[in-house]
Chain A
Amino acid sequence: MAEIYGKGIVALKQMLDNKEISPTELFQYFEKRADEHEGKIHSYITRASVDYNADRPTEGKLAGIPIAVKDIFCTKDLRTTAASKVLDEFIPKYESTATARLIAEGAWFTGKTNMDAWAHGASSETSAYGLTYNPWDLDRYPGGSSSGSASVVSAYVAPASIGTDTGGSIRHPASWCGILGLKPTHGRVSRYGVAAMGSSLDSPGPMGLYTEDLALLLEVMAGKDEYDATTSPSPVPNYTADMQTKRTFTLGIAKEYIDDATPDIQKRIMETVEILKKMGHTIKEVSLLDPKYAISAYTIINRAEVSSNLARLHGVRYSNPRNMFGEEAKRRSMLGAYALSHGYYDEYYKKAQKVRQLIKQSFADTFQSIDLILAPTAPVTALEVGSFEKYPFFGEMMDRLNEPASVAGIPAMSVPIGLDGDNLPVGMQIIGPALHESDLLNLSYQLEQETDFFGVIKQGLENWK
């Protein structure tokens, strides 16, 4: 049998198609890896069995492919907690659209990955089910909130995963764990069946080791959904085919974003820029609104939406009582309710919406003269466990370079571009105009071909062989 280790889902599909391995054998391979490594990284809240996957379609783009799912997607007959004790025993009777589309193409689910409770955070510290650890350094955070979805792929306990990104929750852990993560345009992938955090911001998306894997997963999940009125009717491109044609882009670098990062990260970004120039792309300096405005607008809008979205967990029917909410959820609910209350609405929420318009406009103006923006994903690389307590707005601090794209609702992707002095992965964001996911994937694929992501993926796999 050919080597499974380190293969992405496109390559594994080839093995399945060639009958080199059966879906059950493949699934059991990852079960065994989970048995071996879960004690160290703790990626899952709930693991799924072969039996649970027994009825999957045997035909389809993902037939027999194991995928890890963030525990915020409602999965029929598979416990879904959103990492909160409020939903400790919740077993949905319905399937989220994103996971339903994966299932329709034959995907198997390995389990539900750990996360910050309700996706509130960037470390997994707020999970009611304990911390997830960074495979690059087990004393460090994996990032978040899609913490388990990043670590599980980074340690090759699953070949790919899906997460959700509200203010960086896919990109941030992807960068800290040295993998790829794509936050699509808001409305590109349906939110139906995804426990809501910030409704106007939440964007489900793929995470993995190879560009082609993200392209395939996005292709399957994206598109108009009759259960989500905010999904775009725009047809879904063939991302896999689109990325094969090498295109040259005009890439914008914003000083406002670079200055925020550590010197090591700045250095990696500038090195990548040099390589991109050599590859024939044009680099242009651009000026964007200072990310601090995005953080303010994001925080108000997010807290307001959180306070409203968590109101349904009142314990009358399916959930545990509200006193089982963790501290962060309570903090966000109170702050949001305050920002929406009579007499404060204009001062906070309404003002935040105005700022949001300006941010959207700033991006729209910038994209008049360039194709894509490059920026660091996070201002720092993975922090040590325990540093969470030092920052009351830990998530916002870590996500301050992610939130502008979230507030603008535009697609952004994190790709590995090397390691810092501590041997920790550095992520670079590729930000594009609404519905231009194809461009992001195209550039990512070029970098992958040219640099192999500076050996980060390979070394990550080496660490966990």
Chain B
Amino acid sequence: MSNKYTPIIGLEIHIELNTKSKMFCQCPADYFGQEPNTHTCPVCLGMPGGLPVPNEEAIRRTILFGKAIGCKINKRFKFDRKHYFYPDLPKGYQISQYDEPIVGNGNLEVYVNGEKKSFAITRVHLEEDTGKLTHKGGESLIDYNRGGVPLMEIVTEPVFHTSEDVKAFLEELQLIARYLGIANADMEKGDMRLEPNISLQLTEKLPELPEYKVEVKNINSFKFAQKAIEYELKRQEEILERGEVPPQETRGWDANTKTTVPQRLKENANDYRYFPDADIPVFEYTDEQLQEIYDEGMVRLPHERIGTYVDEWGVKYVDAVTLVKSKDTAEYFEDLVSANKTAGLDLKPQQIAAALLNKKIKISDDPTKALKEFKESTAPVETDMDKLSSVVDTVLRENQKAVDDFKSGKNPNAIMYLMGQVMRAMKGQADANIVKRLLEERI
């Protein structure tokens, strides 16, 4: 894309919480792979007299998540009804949060390719998921197992300018949700859904926002998130270059054609007639109650850990990023670093990181024992130079094809094969660097 336009992207992200029960009833929230319509009751089916009783665990998790992504937690919040008629919505309205959400605004810091960036978040609110519609031939089938599952909606400011930023931000949200243990956040399974609002503005007109935006739905992987955004930016640029303005609309990502296509809009989508749900009392938390939630559930977050690993321990950024991708790995790595110190093993954190990532150390091992074994295995090997010299000659002679492939440049990896042969003949009793040097000299 030329510099003439700057992409302006805002995100709406839905993450389903993996609580035991649904948001407003006692039905199990787990619906994946279940027999359709077996996890239902008068409440989540919207039968007469069914009343919502809020799931306090879902609220606790949303508070924790909001705190973890650097947002303000509202001590007072309420639930509202959002009305529209659609078969996946049994009550004719969705219980959501309108003007008093649980989580207010804030900023989340994310590393994008080693660079620390901050993205502005508008709010996070809690709502209930809708049922799942399947269209088969001329028929539409509804499964209400998903209806009423707790769903967090994260809304950002239009602060993203590249699809890469979006992807990094999404991955960070997923990671945080998993660190906190509040959600699976699996995009492929639909636990996490992205709806970006995408537009282009003439760079010279910034910071004024564009006069239109296009919302894209049906994105079910990080890869597609990036592709959809890139496709959409290109499509919009072409329209703008023709001197036209892309229409404000909702489009759907089509994974088969790798394009976005206009979507049929839900009826009355522009007026949801929000109003407070009188079935659910307004919530008022005290500072002490919030603190209790943080104390119980907060963990050290991935970006905080990256900071420590890189800045304090001298771990390479790429390795730090890989380490924190799993909370178990990150915590084990920290155990190793601390065991290293306690046992006075004098290994560098970067060495430990590399060993862990190369699986020279396995997570199940006792940290001190694992480090000791690792240290021994890396101790310099005494090399019998006379024996090595003759072994190298033998190997070169017996593997003429590999020698030729390496010499001609046909297969640069052939030297690794030769090294392997030498090491085997030496029964491992040789320094790999010396072996390599000798081989290179004599080829």
Contacts and interface: CB of A to CB of B under 8 A. Distances in A.
Given A229-B54, A340-B273, A341-B271, A308 B81 contact: yes
A230 interface: yes
A354 to B, nearest CB: 13
A130 interface: no
Interface string A201-216: 0000000000000000
Nearest to B277: A199
Contacts of B47: 74, 92, 94, 312, 318
B156 to A, nearest CB: 24
Interface string A184-214: 0000000111111011100000000000000
Given A311-B93, A341-B271, A349-B275, A230 B48 contact: no
Contact of A312 (B92, B273, B279, B280): B92
B48 A227 contact: no
A345 interface: yes
A87 interface: yes
B273 to A, nearest CB: 4
Contact of B53 (A228, A312, A316): A228
Given A308-B83, A314-B85, A74 B279 contact: no
Interface string B243-272: 000000000000000000000000000110
A390 interface: no
Contact of A193 (B49, B83, B87, B91): B49
Contacts of A316: 87, 90, 142
Contact of A82 (B48, B51, B87, B274): B48
Contacts of A272: none
B278 interface: yes
Contacts of A198: 278
B70 interface: no
Contacts of A246: none
A229 B91 contact: no
A314 B51 contact: no
Given A94-B47, A191-B49, A194-B49, A311 B271 contact: no
Interface residues of A, number: 42
Contact of A308 (B50, B51, B93, B142): B93
A230 B279 contact: yes
A80 interface: yes
A304 interface: yes
Contacts of B81: 308
Contacts of B91: 311-312
B280 A229 contact: yes
Contact of B51 (A90, A227, A313): A227
Given A230-B281, A314-B85, A341-B271, A196 B48 contact: yes
Interface string A64-100: 0000000001100000101000010010111010000
B36 interface: no
A356 B91 CA distance: 26
B150 to A, nearest CB: 15
Contacts of B49: 73-74, 96, 191-196
Interface in A138-192: 191-192
B52 interface: yes
B45 interface: yes
Interface string A276-296: 000000000000000000000
B317 to A, nearest CB: 48
Contacts of B43: 227
A228 B278 contact: no
A312 B278 contact: no
Given A227-B53, A311-B91, A341-B271, A80 B48 contact: yes
Nearest to A90: B48
A317 interface: yes
A227 B50 CA distance: 8
A454 B45 CA distance: 49
Contacts of A304: 275
* Shortest beta-carbon contacts, A-B, top 5: A311-B92, A200-B278, A193-B49, A340-B273, A199-B278
11 contacts: A191-B51, A192-B51, A227-B51, A227-B53, A230-B51, A308-B81, A312-B90, A317-B45, A345-B273, A345-B274, A345-B275
Interface of A: 73-74, 80, 82, 87, 90, 92-94, 96, 191-196, 198-200, 226-230, 304-305, 307-308, 310-314, 316-318, 337, 340-342, 345, 349
